[in-house]
Amino acid sequence: MIAGILAVGTELLMGQTVNTNAAYLGAQLNNMGISVYYHLTVGDNRLRMKQLLKQLIDECDLIFTTGGLGPTLDDITKEVIAETLGLEMVFDDHSMARIKERFKLYNRQMTESNTRQALFPEGSYILDNDEGTAPACIVKVPNSEKRIYVLPGPPREMKHIFTRHMHADLLKRNNMAMHSKYLSVYDLGESSTEDALLDLIEIQHDPTIATYAGDGKVLVRVTSFNTDAKIATERVDKMVKEIYKRIGDHIVSDQGENINDVIVKKLIEKNLTIAFAESCTGGKLIESLIQVPGASKVINRGYITYDNSAKIEDLGVSPDTLSRYGAVSHETCLEMVKGVQSKAKVDIGISITGIAGPGGGTDEKPVGLVYIGVMFKDKCYTLEHHFRGDRSMIRQRALNTTLKIIFDLLKE
Amino acid sequence: MIAGILAVGTELLMGQTVNTNAAYLGAQLNNMGISVYYHLTVGDNRLRMKQLLKQLIDECDLIFTTGGLGPTLDDITKEVIAETLGLEMVFDDHSMARIKERFKLYNRQMTESNTRQALFPEGSYILDNDEGTAPACIVKVPNSEKRIYVLPGPPREMKHIFTRHMHADLLKRNNMAMHSKYLSVYDLGESSTEDALLDLIEIQHDPTIATYAGDGKVLVRVTSFNTDAKIATERVDKMVKEIYKRIGDHIVSDQGENINDVIVKKLIEKNLTIAFAESCTGGKLIESLIQVPGASKVINRGYITYDNSAKIEDLGVSPDTLSRYGAVSHETCLEMVKGVQSKAKVDIGISITGIAGPGGGTDEKPVGLVYIGVMFKDKCYTLEHHFRGDRSMIRQRALNTTLKIIFDLLKE
């Protein structure tokens, strides 16, 4: 099956909005084994929209449109589809009732133009939108098996309609079942991950393997499209086992979770408390964990001891250590972690001190030098790291490495 | 002038990469008064690429391609352009020498396929790429004034080539000079900003006004395309003055800067130190300021007193206050800010305590209730806020509001 995506919206052409919808749909369809040939974007212009739509109908089996379902006169996607296919626009009472209800719920005034949202190309299969006022639909191309999937533009609404109403229909239409696992890989770059799996990626057929990188995480997707669910599961599990053999030390979840979510979950499970003393990361570490709902059960406190006076007063680092070894040293890092653990009386203490730059580096202690201190049970140690990149990359890498260290502590 | 953008790359179709290049180019061209009619994306497929390219050449004056300039056999953009226009591919010695040099610099082995990067459609104007190995070019469409701007795919390289080599050429070709100001608006949503400027936006002609929102900031761009630089500057300045009259209290920069950058710059200028006591924001506030290079000159420390024990031990909040009024109260917030200022002996103390949810809310103290405490000079007060949204939105809004409070303190 071949698909094409048509995004409608002048704000996309003008670069006010990045077209993340196309990437989302592209990935979803690709996961289902559907080939996407085109992502096209056009403004709210009847003529040009019609022309691109015709092209897609000619060349593709499945056409997806996003945007242009709002109440204003600019919103013409459904009309243009009807015009292109030679269909009438018909009024849908059910949709109208739902739109009215929604306005009542939010106590907002409904305008005449909102009634346009209840008009659809005749014969459409109409889909309720629980995330907004614009209902979506699936339009059958007359005298063919082709379908146009008509989606709203706001990403939240678009994803809702796609996952709730279209995903299953597409799998069925493509005669496929699907089984996936998502491995979250940390502290190993995308290219190193790919290198380690290169032979598996090159021969991939069923299951398929794909990698996606972002924010220090590499997500490895393993998917089988086998129609037999049992076979699909077996094949995915076998491949996942092989991947664990190669890079298992770097996998923190086989459900695509982020490392900070996994850490908070494990801390809660094991009933362990934690506290932090951060210098160069400046709160990034504790913040990444406090993001997670439930964090208050296990996170006790953090000291952002940016100035040396704070290291001395709050953590009890000795002025002598600071003057003899410097703020960025094994010795200071060790006293920081001892200080935070004894102050907070927690199970796990973590400290970080380093030089994020751009200033502050020397030949002996260059920008990128970071010490990480750990205190847990009978263990107490500091690690030296050298990170590359600019200020923001160094701080991000220090964060990722520290999170991985905490994750590893919790494995035992 | 009408433009169209063609992105080449199977990774875009498959959703592995979001096409931010199209948005970037769209915004840049729009800023220059060039209308963008299409963003098209196609895979590494000769036939389909040629077909879309032909269409764009038919309908547009300026065509931009991104991607497909790499060394592998998949990278066929330049070849397809030559084929479509009936041009030969010719070898460029200068580019070859530069590519060789780059490989030597990085001590990497050059492969035969890298020589393909030095081939261009005949008559191309070749552009050096200082950010990667793939040179870019501008191709003249024979017997016309139309041009194809051929850009690399990696965003950093693409932006480099565009700003360094194409921007000035396009302005000249469009017979335009351009003058812009970027106003950074905080603590006022995008729709409120637009409402306040609606009449100005509706009648806009010269200068034009556009708004872009993200991460709590609304950027208002005011641009004049007048060929006379003096007139352009005057018109922009007059409009900016009018905008300041309406929403000046919310503008933190007329150079598009972020509020955290402005705050650190002002603290350094005024030689003021600052320290933080955060509970619900969990380090977000201090982290947003430590991001900024030079932060170490003015930021003393932060206490992330997530657990009540930390509020008592580190900030001297009285257990009696906590049990009588609760951790989220004017009283606790006030003792927190007094505590952090006396501990850190800084010029400015800031405290935050609130309920970010999803748990922890009551009828009396609902999720979203946040107190912000300030101590500066003879001032010492706490403010009560009610933020809407989920955990991450509430924390982001608490951050933005607090940053705006700090910015306002520094105005005096």
Question: What's the pLDDT score for residue B11?
Answer: 86
Residue appearing with tokens 């990067």: B117
Six-digit token string for B312:
């008592």
Structural contact between residues B226 and B232, judged by C-beta atoms closer than 8 angstroms:
yes
Rounded CA-CA distance B133/B116 in Å is 11
Rama region for B345: left / alpha / beta (φ>0; ψ in -120 to 50; rest): left
Residue B144: CB atoms within 10 Å: 9
> Rounded to a whole number, what is the distance in Å from the CA of A90 to chain B's nearest CA?
30
DSSP letter, residue A110: P
Question: Which residues of chain A lie closer than 8 angstroms to B17, CB-CB?
Answer: 23
Taking CA–CA distances from A303, the nearest residue in chain B reads B303
Q: CA triplet A270, A272, A273: central angle to 5 degrees?
A: 155
Residue A393 pLDDT > 90: no
Question: What's the pLDDT score for residue B195?
Answer: 86
A18 interfacial to chain B (CB closer than 8 Å): yes
* pLDDT tens by residue, A76-87: 999 999 999 999
Question: What's the pLDDT score for residue B325?
Answer: 97
User: With an 8 Å Cβ cutoff, are A301 and B301 in contact?
Assistant: no
Query: Higher pLDDT residue, A201 or A337?
Result: A337
Which run of H or E residues covers position A59? helix A46-59
> Rounded to a whole number, what is the distance in Å from the CA of B128 to chain A's nearest CA?
24
Question: What's the pLDDT score for residue A275?
Answer: 98
Residue A51 pLDDT > 80: yes
Question: What's the pLDDT score for residue A110?
Answer: 77
Lowest mean pLDDT segment, chosen from A2-16, A122-136, A202-216, A347-361 = A202-216
Q: What is the average pLDDT value for chain A, to the nearest integer?
A: 92
A residues 335-394 lying closer than 8 A (beta carbon) to B: 343-345, 357-360, 391-392
> Which amino acid appears at position A54 of this protein?
K
CATH architecture of B2-173: 3-Layer(aba) Sandwich (3.40)
Residue A205: CB atoms within 10 Å: 6
Question: Which residues of chain B lie closer than 8 angstroms to A299, CB-CB?
Answer: 282, 306-307
* pLDDT tens by residue, A90-118: 999 999 999 888 888 767 777 777 888 99
Question: Which residues of chain B lie closer than 8 angstroms to A293, CB-CB?
Answer: 357-359, 391
Taking CA–CA distances from A218, the nearest residue in chain B reads B16
* pLDDT tens by residue, A282-316: 999 999 999 999 999 999 999 999 999 999 999 99
Q: Which fold has domain A260-409?
A: Maf protein (3.90.950)
User: With an 8 Å Cβ cutoff, are A36 and B14 in contact?
Assistant: yes
A255 interfacial to chain B (CB closer than 8 Å): no
Question: What's the pLDDT score for residue B147?
Answer: 96
ipTM confidence? 0.73
Peptide bond into A207 cis (omega under 30): yes
B191 interfacial to chain A (CB closer than 8 Å): no
What are the sequence ranges of the domains in chain B? 2-173, 179-253, 259-411
3-state secondary structure of B79: helix
A291 interfacial to chain B (CB closer than 8 Å): yes
Q: What band does A65 get if pLDDT is binned at 50, 70 and 90? A: very high
Least CB-CB distance to B39: which of A13, A293, A360?
Answer: A13
CATH architecture of B179-253: 2-Layer Sandwich (3.30)
Size of interface A-B (CB pairs under 8 A): 226
* pLDDT tens by residue, A247-279: 999 999 999 899 999 999 999 999 999 999 999
A314 interfacial to chain B (CB closer than 8 Å): yes
Rounded CA-CA distance B78/B56 in Å is 15
Question: Which residues of chain A lie closer than 8 angstroms to B286, CB-CB?
Answer: 282-283, 304, 306
Question: What's the pLDDT score for residue A131?
Answer: 83
Q: Provide the whole-model pTM.
A: 0.76
User: With an 8 Å Cβ cutoff, are B286 and A299 in contact?
Assistant: no
> Rounded to a whole number, what is the distance in Å from the CA of A1 to chain B's nearest CA?
14
Characterize the bridge pairing of strands B217-224 and B208-214.
antiparallel
- Size (chain A), residues: 412
Question: Which residues of chain B lie closer than 8 angstroms to A300, CB-CB?
Answer: 306-307, 309-310
> Which residues, given as ranges, of chain B have pLDDT below 50?
none
Question: Which residues of chain B lie closer than 8 angstroms to A274, CB-CB?
Answer: none
A residues 100-139 lying closer than 8 A (beta carbon) to B: none
Q: Which fold has domain B259-411?
A: Maf protein (3.90.950)
Question: What's the pLDDT score for residue A108?
Answer: 72
Residue appearing with tokens 């056009």: A42
Rounded CA-CA distance B353/B327 in Å is 7
* pLDDT tens by residue, A165-176: 999 888 888 777
Question: Which residues of chain A lie closer than 8 angstroms to B7, CB-CB?
Answer: 39
> Rounded to a whole number, what is the distance in Å from the CA of A174 to chain B's nearest CA?
17
> Rounded to a whole number, what is the distance in Å from the CA of B303 to chain A's nearest CA?
5
Largest separation between any pair of C-alpha atoms in chain A = 85
- Size (chain B), residues: 412
Six-digit token string for B304:
């992330």
**Above pLDDT 90, what percent of chain A?**
71
Spatial CA neighbour of A235 closest among A221, A224, A220 = A224
Characterize the bridge pairing of strands A217-224 and A208-214.
antiparallel
